[in-house]
Amino acid sequence: MTRIIGTSEDEIKIAAETLKNGGTVVFPTETVYGLGANALDESAVRKIFKAKGRPSDNPLIVHISDLNQLNELVSIIPESLHMLAEKFWPGPLTLVMKKSSIVPDIVSAGLSTVGIRMPDHPVALNLLRHAGIPVAAPSANISGSPSPTQADHVIADMNGKVDVIIDGGDCRVGLESTVLDISGEVPEVLRPGGITAEQIKSVLGEIKIDKFIYGKPLDRSAKPKSPGVKYKHYSPKAEVILFDGDLDMVISEINTQANKLAEHKKVGIMATEQTKNSYSCGLVISSGDRNHPKTIAANFFKLLRNFDEQGVDVILIEGVDKQGVGMAIMNRMIRAAGHNIIQCGS
C-alpha cells in the first residue's frame, strides 16, 4: 500500500523514517519528482529498480542536503567541485565523480563514478535533512515514459509500487538536472538540463559536450559514458514526430502533415504562444513562450502526458532553438520522438 501525504513537518518526518527503514519515497524536486531510497542500502536501492522497471546498467543519482556528505561518497574531490557547488548547488546540476567504496555497485551500475546533486526544493531538502542519509533517486516515472512533474503523474505511474508519495505540487524546472562529469581532465556534459552549458562555461571555461546529446540511440551492448542515453526515453503512448528548422517552414510542414494524418488519426500539435493560431486542424496546445524557453521546459513532459490522456494518436512537435535551456529541451524532444525528425528548410 502506498501512503500519499502532504508536506507538513510531521508528514516529512514520516517519509524520512520510511527512508531510514529501507523503504521507498517519491518526493518533489525543482526538476522532476524523484523515487528515493537509502543510497547506502543495497536492498533498498533494489526496490527502486523494481518499481520503475529500470535496466540494472543505468546508474542512479545520489541526493544530498549538505556538502559535508560528499566526503564519504567520493574518493577524489576535483578542484572544480567547490566552484560549481558554490554557484549551482542547491540546483539542477548533477556532478559525476570517482565514487568511494561505501557507495554500493547497484547505485553506480558497476561504474567507478557516482552522480551527486543537491536539489533546490524546500521539501526535498527538508526530507534529506530529517533522513540524514544520502538518497538515491531517479525520476519517479515508469522506465521509458515521460518524467513526472506533478503528483498525479507520479500516482499514475507509482501508486502501489512505492511506500510513500509526497504531493509537493508542480516542479518548477520541469526537465531533469544537467549531468556533468568532472571525474576526468576536461569536464563533460553528459545530459543537458536545468543548468545550461553556457552557465557552466562561465565558471569552468572550456567544457566538452557529449556527442550523444542529439545523436542516435545506441544498441544495447554499447557503453556510452551516461548509460541512460542508450535507452528509449520520455515516450508517451502516442507516436511523436519532431519538426526542426526554419519556423515558417515548420508551421507549413506541420499543417500539411496534420491534414494528411487527420484522415485516419487523432492529431495533436505541440505549438508555442507565438504559433498556436497558425494551425488549421488537430488538437493544438501551446507549450510556452519562445522568448522564454524555460516556460517550454516546464510544460514539456506534462503536455506529453496530456496528449495521451486526450487519446491523441500522433503528436507533431515544433522544435526550438538549441541555445541555453533549448539544448535540454531539444534533447528531450528528439528522444521523445525516438529520432523521428522532419528537417524543414536548411
Site residues for ligand TXA per CB under 6 A = 29, 31-32, 34, 58-61, 92, 94, 96, 108, 111, 113-115, 119, 137-139, 176-177, 179, 190-191, 225-228
Q: How many residues bind Mg ion (CB under 5 A)?
A: 1
Burial class (CB in 10 A: 0-12, 13-18, 19+), 233: buried
Which residue lies nearer to ligand TXA by CB, 100 or 274? 100
Q: What, of ligand TXA, Mg ion, none, does residue 29 touch, CB below 5 to 8 Å by kind?
A: ligand TXA
Please state the closest distance from residue 290 (CB atom) to ligand TXA, in A.
24
**Numbers of helices and strands, H then E, in the chain:** 11, 16
In this structure, what C-alpha cell is assigned to residue 110? 558497476
β-strand 61-63 against 135-136: which pairing, if any?
A: antiparallel
- Residue 124: which of 81, 172, 55 has the closest Cα? 172
Which residue lies nearer to Mg ion by CB, 60 or 316? 60
CA distances from 139 to 15, 136, 189, 327, 333 (A): 17, 10, 19, 19, 17
Establish if 139 lies at the interface with Mg ion (CB under 5 A).
Answer: yes
- In the complex, residue closest to Mg ion by CB: 139
Which residue lies nearer to ligand TXA by CB, 32 or 70? 32
Establish if 257 lies at the interface with Mg ion (CB under 5 A).
Answer: no
Three-class DSSP category at 299:
helix
- In the complex, residue closest to ligand TXA by CB: 228
Which residue lies nearer to ligand TXA by CB, 62 or 261? 62
Three-class DSSP category at 26:
strand
Which residue lies nearer to ligand TXA by CB, 137 or 250? 137
Task: Report the interface residues with Mg ion, using CB under 5 A.
Answer: 139
